[in-house]
Structure 1
Amino acid sequence: MKIDHLGEFAFMHDTFTTHDISQICDVFMSTVAHWIDEGKLKAFRTPGGHRRVSRTDLIDFLSTYNIPIPDTLILKKKILIVNNDPHLTKSITHSLKKKDPNAIIQTAPDGFEAGKTFATFSPDVVLLDVVRPGLDGLQVCRDIRRDPRTTNISILILAKVDDKALKKEIEKLNVQGTFFKPFNIPSLVETIFQQKRSNGHKNGHTK
């Protein structure tokens, strides 16, 4: 069975029609319908009666029947690092790519550049340093939370462990984690990849 990649289409959709799946698997639409009728491929119907298959169920089906999963079906983690320390940024980026070579990583040295990046890049996770000179990370975090287009993005904070005043400010923010320097990069990387798409508002925690 040959897999036909659908390119950016697959990245942009969370549900697929029988026609989409027939293209992905290079089979007739009737074959896809048969898979659904037999219960091999989970599906639901729209109010109009059309069959739809979720991305997760499609991937589970392909995996169960040893059908190669197209890269375009697997959502790539998109990460924005806001930090003006090039050495730290490079180390974190290297570790992220080692963990997942397909991860899409953008960097910004300050809030202004981060704002420009958001115009063309929608990250799943923002890694934000709030202690670097010339970088008002707390304000960047507030701006992300105020904007309805970015309010559900997961935010991880890098901060100084001995700055009690800053720690109090961070506790007021709705972030998914805080890493106090010096921190363990592998632990940071694991936490980044644990974040889900559109995480929504959660209570912050510290590491």
Structure 2
Amino acid sequence: MDVDLDKEVYTTFEAAKICNANITSIKNWIDKGELRAFRTPGGHYRIERKVLDDFLNRHCMPNPFAERERKRVFLVHSNPERIDELALQFGQQHDYDSSDNAQQALLTIGQWQPDVAIVDDRLDGIDLSGLCTTIRENRELRPVCIIALHDRDEEYSAKLREAGCDHVISPVSDEGGLHEAIRRALL
């Protein structure tokens, strides 16, 4: 793609390239109110970067803007200081946050929209299966990679996968698997 992703305003032609669509689709989305645009004095459409970024995210389309931004890692764990270990392992080019409170964690996931959410089932008050289902039902949160940590049986693991969990890991026996799942999610 030969479009400057650092611009603040795009033409319909540039927006079409960014969306991997044709100009007619862009104009149809504008006409339907799906994509907000303004007109120049000459009558040409222009689309702001932040509007285009939001449009791509809302429709779960590949977003070249997001690929350029820092990835977000969120840890829901009884020991939130473990996030410092992850930051050391995966580098300071990402943003990190954590919580040991189930309600605060749910709010943070909804507001911060991390790229990776690592959730420990052993945290008091967490319904991991319900959390996975809720995230997958929310259009803005679908791209979040959910990594579940639990030490229950395989039947529970299957239930979590069915609810939409991307990776199910035993925190006691598979620390390497956790790091590999995070690494893949941050690619």
TM-score (norm 1): 0.53
Q: How many residues align?
A: 137
The yes-or-no answer on 1:157 pairing with 2:148 is: yes
Per the alignment, residue 104 of structure 2 pairs with 113
Q: Could you tell me which of 184, 187, 195 is aligned with 2:185?
A: 195
Shift of residue 76 of structure 1? 1.8
Q: Secondary structure at the match of 1:151?
A: coil
Per the alignment, residue 47 of structure 2 pairs with none
Per the alignment, residue 4 of structure 2 pairs with 16
Q: Aligned pair in 2 of structure 1 residues 169, 119: CA closer, same or farther (>3 Å)?
A: closer
The yes-or-no answer on 1:123 pairing with 2:114 is: yes
Q: Is the 8 A contact 2:73 2:114 kept in 1?
A: yes
Q: Could you tell me which of 84, 101, 106 is aligned with 2:92?
A: 101
Q: Aligned pair in 2 of structure 1 residues 179, 137: CA closer, same or farther (>3 Å)?
A: same
Q: Secondary structure at the match of 1:191?
A: helix
Letter in structure 1 aligned against 2:69: L
Deviations 1:58-115 (A, max 9, x none): xxxxxxxxxxxxxxx95322011112x11xx423531333321222111122442123
Q: Aligned pair in 2 of structure 1 residues 109, 137: CA closer, same or farther (>3 Å)?
A: farther
Moved more, 125-134 or 147-156: 125-134
Q: What 5-or-longer segments of structure 2 have no aligned partner?
A: 20-66
- When the two chains are superposed, the root-mean-square deviation of aligned CA atoms in Å is 3.4
Q: Identity of aligned pairs, percent?
A: 16
Q: Could you tell me which of 61, 75, 78 is aligned with 2:72?
A: 78
Q: Structure 1 segments of 4 or more deviating over 6 A?
A: none
Per the alignment, residue 70 of structure 1 pairs with none
2 CA distance for matches of 1:172 and 1:151? 14
Per the alignment, residue 137 of structure 1 pairs with 128
Q: Aligned pair in 2 of structure 1 residues 165, 53: CA closer, same or farther (>3 Å)?
A: closer
Q: What 5-or-longer segments of structure 1 have no aligned partner?
A: 1-14, 21-44, 55-72, 198-207
Letter in structure 2 aligned against 1:141: C
Q: Aligned pair in 2 of structure 1 residues 166, 186: CA closer, same or farther (>3 Å)?
A: closer
Letter in structure 2 aligned against 1:76: R
Q: Could you tell me which of 151, 159, 164 is aligned with 1:169?
A: 159
Letter in structure 2 aligned against 1:118: I
